[in-house]
Every structure is written in C-alpha cells, then in structure tokens.
Homo-oligomer: A and B are copies of this chain.
Amino acid sequence: MRIAVDAMGGDYAPGEIVRGVVDLTSRADFDDHIILVGDQPRIETALIELGGKIGDKVSIRHTTEVIEMDDHPASAVRKKRDSSLVVCGDMVRDGEADGTISAGSTGAAMAVAAMRIGRIPGIERPAIASQMPTLKGRCLMLDMGANVDCTPQNLLQFALMGSVYAEHVIGVPEPTVGLLSVGTEDTKGNELTKATFELLKNSPLRFKGNIEGKDVFEHTTDIVVCDGFAGNVLLKTAESISEMLLGLLTTEIDALGDGILEKVQPVILNLVRRIDYAEQGGAPLLGVNGVSVIAHGRSKARAIGNGIRLTISAAKSGYVNAIKKELPTIAGERRGV
C-alpha cells in the first residue's frame, strides 16, 4: 500500500511525523510505501537527522503551502491547492495513494474529504469513527464531531458504515449496533434517536436497541451511533474525567510518601495507556470515497506510527468498496424516512 502522510499537519510537524515514519519503516516487517507530503527541504532535514532515507519505503512529495489550525477549513481548502493536506486528498482521489493520514485541522481534513476526495455515492454525510476504550477492548463509536446536526437517515448510514468497518478493519465478526440515548428502554430518547430507532429496528443491521453512556464503556455493543454533538461531548468528557482522576490520584499517592507511588505508578501508567485515545493512532472518516484517517493534533511519533498502520490496514481491507456493496441493503429504510 502507498500511504500519503501529511508531514505538515499537527502540533509537532514535521519533526514527529517524520520520526514516526522513520521508526515504522525501519522495521524489518514493513513492506508498504510512505509518501511524506510537505515542504521537501524541511522533511529532508528531519529525515537526515533521524537516520531515515528516501528509497523503496519512503518518498517525498513537495508542496509549498500549509493549512493552519486557524484557517477557515473550506476556504483554505479552496485557496491552498498546493497545501500538504489538499495534495494528500488529491493523491487518494487520483489513485496515487491508497490512503492518507493527517494530524492537522480536523475541519480542513473533513473539507478535503468532501471537496477533493468526495463522498461514496449515496452517503449523505461522512462521519468520524473513534475506537473508545472499554472494559473488553474497544468499541467503535460514530459520529464523534463531524456532523453536529444529524438526521435519522444519517445515523442509519453511520450504523451501516460502522458495521462494515468493524468487520473488515477491526475484525469483529457480526458486529452489534447500539444507539446512544438517555435510557435503555425502547421509548427513551429525543426526536432524533426515536426516529433513528425505528429505522435501525427495521434494518438488516444487528441492532441491539438504545444504550446509555455507561454501556459504551461496558462494551454492550461493538458499535455505537450518535450525532456528532453527543459523540464529541462523550469523548471529551471521558478524556478529561480520566485525566483529572488519574492526575489527582498520582498527586495524592505521591503525598503519602514512603515510596508508594513508585510501586503503584506502573499500574497507573498501564491504565493510562489502556485508555489513551491516541493509542489507536487515528480515526477514519467513514463515507469518504477513499481511505482518510484523522490523527490527534497532539500526535507524536508513536501515535503517528500507529495511525499509519491503521491507515494501511484500512486500505488493505477494502472497506470502502464493502460499504458501497452494503449500502443498498438499507435503501428501503432510507426511502422510509
């Protein structure tokens, strides 16, 4: 697989992006190809510093512009045609790359997906799908913030796309679907979820009904669908509560003295790793007509490496074509709206 990596996107670009690529491609079992997209002199300097080199596994595609975090996403994508992010998208569209990943502006990556790569025909809105840590592994949740206002039809499509992705990329056989609501009873929810419930119930998907926030972490279902507003609130709440609790705990155990923190710290660090949302490396934009993965803006080398591996797996799985194939199975439900 050839993966276009946005070398200029993210808080630690290009240094940590290049480091992630060098670390990954120096592994003996790596036999794909990374195209570092961005400012060639800066990328080359970083490559040399880190002992990487251009060759079978790594190449550079020079671009002259960068989309900044405070640029307006859509207009930046329209104007900065030679930005690393836009060129990454164009390479996927034109078949020069099998997938792309960026740690830059999520809004701009969404805009590139919509305006340069395009949507899968029939998909109304692409969604960001994140793997949330649970007591039994990870569950796939979407949408995590791409669409703050959704229709029941959008959520039905999210459920289908999530099911296909979970099966093909994560390797979950017969994935189950839950609908995020305010209670588990069938009648609980707001107007959006109540209408979505009916669509899901009548679909061929493995729908298990309404679930609550806590069910996400107990892994009641393999996939959780919700609008991007609720998903984003849940994600940011989970992240900040975890950080707050483990931070308070570390401080207070440290205050106990007696070397206790040293003994407990491995347990805490293990837990931090387990719930580390950067661990998975990135979240795919499902519904885009190509493989496009968004990495966390704060990604360092390890996260970038994980993200690239995810992008490669996703590209190899052929999930985009599988979505195209499965989409007609919910067409009846779509007409029913």
Contacts and interface: CB of A to CB of B under 8 A. Distances in A.
Interface of A is mostly: helix
A236 B214 contact: yes
B264 A253 contact: yes
Contacts of A239: 213-214
Nearest to A252: B267
Interface of A: 135, 145, 148-149, 180, 182, 189-191, 193, 212-214, 216-218, 226-230, 232-246, 248-249, 252-253, 256, 258, 260, 263-264, 267-268, 270-271, 274-275
22 contacts: A148-B182, A148-B190, A149-B190, A180-B233, A182-B233, A213-B235, A213-B240, A214-B239, A217-B240, A218-B240, A230-B230, A233-B234, A233-B237, A234-B234, A234-B237, A237-B237, A245-B275, A248-B271, A252-B267, A252-B270, A253-B267, A256-B267
A135 to B, nearest CB: 6
A214 B260 CA distance: 29
Nearest to A72: B187
A189 B252 contact: no
A55 to B, nearest CB: 41
Nearest to A251: B267
Number of copies: 2
Given A190-B149, A190-B229, A270-B252, A242 B241 contact: yes
Contacts of A245: 241-242, 245-246, 271, 275
Interface centre among A148, A189, A193 (most CB of B within 10 A): A148
Contacts of A244: 135, 217-218
Contact of A237 (B145, B213, B246, B258): B213
Interface centre among A212, A227, A235 (most CB of B within 10 A): A212
A56 B39 CA distance: 82
Contacts of A190: 148-149, 227, 229
Contacts of A260: 260, 263-264
B240 A214 contact: yes
Contact of A271 (B193, B249, B264, B268): B249
Contacts of A238: 237, 241
B241 A268 contact: no
Contacts of A228: 182
A267 B264 CA distance: 12
